[in-house]
Amino acid sequence: MGLTFIISFISNVGSGSEAVAQPANYLTGVKTAFFVAFLFAVTGLLLSLFLESEKQAGERG
């Protein structure tokens, strides 16, 4: 699913309004896709800090 998001960002941002694909537009799409993937990774990392294992939760109560 992540690959689908990355490819869609590259396609949407990289295509631009021109009929002929320009390398600079493609690179802009790649940069945007990697930035979005980075945001998803950081969000996942931060959310994982709030998870508790079942063993620890069982000991508490």
pLDDT tens sequence across 27-44: 888 888 889 889 999 999
- Quote the pTM value: 0.66
Are 9 and 32 in contact by the 8 Å Cβ rule? The answer is yes
Q: For tokens 């002929």, name the residue.
A: 20
Are 22 and 53 in contact by the 8 Å Cβ rule? The answer is no
The one-letter amino acid code at 53 reads: S
Q: Going by C-beta distance under 8 Å and a sequence separation of 6 or more, which residues neighbour residue 14?
A: 21, 25, 26, 27, 28, 29, 30
For 51-60, what is each residue's pLDDT tens digit? Answer: 876 665 556 6
The radius of gyration of the chain from alpha carbons, rounded to an integer in Å, stands at 19
